A = this chain, B = another copy of it.
Amino acid sequence: MTAEPGQRIVRSRLEQEAVLIPPRHVTETIEVLTSHESVRRFIPRGLDDGMLDAILIAARSAPTSSNLQAYSIVVVQDRAHKERLAQLAGEQQFIAEAACFLLFCADIGRLRYISQRQGRRFGADTLEMLLLSSVDAALAMQNALVAAESLGLATTPIGAVRDFPRTIADELALPRGAYVVAGLCVGFEAPGARRGVKPRLPEQVTVHHERYDTGGLEDGIRAYDETMIRRGTYAGRQLSAGSGPEHAGRQYGWAEHTSLRCSEPGPDAPALLGRPQLRRDLEECGIFFD
């Protein structure tokens, strides 16, 4: 979907949701945070001097659990290298068009090295360490994204790097114990590349007070389906015609699209998410847990 002629592009979720916040609490930073939109068309222009340095020190300033800093970042700017990674990440050619492609890795390998260096036996081949290191990588990526957008750059996070973790690890010469959690395209956007910020599930669905409350869930999903259908988000992107009688009259919105991506494969449900082989893939990267 692109914006129809004359249709105004909404650039901020503060406007989209008509949130009432005293102006003194709308910092420049909060304007940046609430204006995030993934942009997938870039112009061929490298970053200005200093931009990458600013993005990287912001990324390295993210919080990290127990100061383990269990992540690494690989910065890819070489055109041929970006092309290969674009192919490995689901043939998303725009990755190669971005000025740089940052790859955020969970890095348990460095911790294993530190244990050996200090004469001890590494003892944290656990699910916890996989989660902790993946979260460390995610926090660093989010800081990089926010820093880049504050500089007027466009970004797109890429989860498809988890499709072929071992191949990407080889491409980046990652040590054993590291894998790429997510990539981040950073560059100057092409004119007309923005569609406006994507609406989010209503706050009543994702935010709860004191205790989780499903009271607003159904109304929230229905309202969100209507919003997303009205916006045309799924026009031309339907995963299934839903042709069976049980689908008659069913609206194709977020709930239908999401259920198709998360459900067992069937005649009308392609298994698009879930990556059932990921554990084996991570073992090939030297990541093990009980």
Contacts and interface: CB of A to CB of B under 8 A. Distances in A.
Contact of A14 (B57, B62, B178, B259): B57
A128 B208 contact: no
Interface string A149-182: 0110000010100100000000011110010011
Contacts of A32: 27, 29
Nearest to A36: B61
Nearest to A67: B198
Given A174-B212, A278-B127, A255 B147 contact: no
A95 interface: no
Contacts of A62: 33, 36, 142
A146 interface: yes
The number of chain A residues touching the other chain, given as a range, is: 35 or more
Nearest to A274: B124
- Of A34, A54, A262, the most chain B CB neighbours within 10 A belong to A262
B212 A69 contact: no
A260 to B, nearest CB: 8
A60 B206 contact: yes
A285 interface: no
A111 B258 CA distance: 8
B63 A157 contact: yes
Interface stretch (A1-9, A70-78, A186-194): A70-78
A247 B87 CA distance: 49
Nearest to A150: B29
A246 B13 contact: no
Interface in A18-72: 19-22, 25-30, 32-36, 38, 48-51, 53-54, 56-58, 60-63, 65-69, 71-72
B29 A258 contact: no
B128 A131 contact: no
- Of A72, A124, A214, the most chain B CB neighbours within 10 A belong to A124
Nearest to A149: B29
Contacts of A151: 25, 27, 30
A75 B162 CA distance: 31
Given A28-B29, A29-B28, A259-B118, A209 B75 contact: yes
B178 A212 contact: yes
A269 interface: yes
Interface string A107-139: 000111111011111111011111110110011
Q: Which are the 9 A-B pairs with shortest beta-carbon distances?
A: A123-B264, A29-B150, A118-B259, A120-B263, A128-B275, A124-B274, A33-B58, A142-B142, A27-B150
Given A33-B143, A81-B210, 6 more contacts: A36-B62, A60-B200, A74-B209, A105-B212, A117-B259, A126-B278
